[in-house]
Amino acid sequence: MNRIRNMFEQCRNRKEAALIGFVSAGDPDMETSRKIIFSMLDHGMDLLEIGIPFSDPTADGPVIQLASQRALKAGVSLGTALKMVKEIREHYPTPIVLFSYLNPILAHGPEKFCKDAAAAGADGVLVVDMPLEESGELLPFLEASGLVSIPLVAPTTPEDRMEIICRNAKGFIYLVSMTGVTGSGGLHTDGAGAMARKVRAVSPVPVALGFGISEASQVAALVPHADGIVIGSAFVRVIGETADREKIPAILGKMTKEFKKACTHSR
């Protein structure tokens, strides 16, 4: 948790929003994935979300679904993803959050998963299909391992429920900027900004906006209203559409630099 808290404090002191990037572990293959992540971290990524490939990622759109399929085809598993986290941690102090569905964690064993994730160097876990009321099966093991559970708040979350989630939050709030799945189009930055201001008013921890953010201009428009910006599908789409895998790390490094520059806008 300290790495996450310290990172947000450092960004706040520099008057910039944190840039949070998502990629699936092992997409499109382990070696290219390692080079991609290192390039993103070298170009200013503040926090890394690593997706654990899953065969039925129902909250994700087609872009990230295909990323999971590519990684699974490359033989990536939860255990492989944790090895990747350990390798990253040996080279970078950047906070790492594991993004997963509940089934792979239950299959690994909740207690063993938390111990293994902490030992690898992860800082937090975001379980996309685990609502607060059903977190009892995992939360005690997360806390015992020094990991934080990153909660989701959506546009459809009732206000009283949103306040309960915020009161119990540690690390940061992942605020879904629009209804739909990851990678959806049609983001309205004015509405997302207003929602972020509302959540920040009651949240004791930073609030990061994600879903549907794919352009630097959108980042710049949202930065005044949020503590962090999450970019996922924009990165993953490039991974899927670039035939020459050797070129992908440099492309995503350049994208990271451009998004990070936008994170300093109007703050």
Catalytic residues: 49, 60
SS3 annotation, the chain: CHHHHHHHHHHHHCCCCEEEEEEECCCCCHHHHHHHHHHHHHCCCCEEEEECCCCCCCCCCHHHHHHHHHHHHCCCCHHHHHHHHHHHHCCCCCCEEEEECHHHHHHHCHHHHHHHHHHHCCCEEEECCCCHHHHHHCHHHHHHCCCEECCEECCCCCHHHHHHHHHCCCCCEEEECCCCCCCCCCCCHHHHHHHHHHHHCCCCCCEEEECCCCCHHHHHHHHHHCCEEEECHHHHHHHHHCCCHHHHHHHHHHHHHHHHHHCCCCC
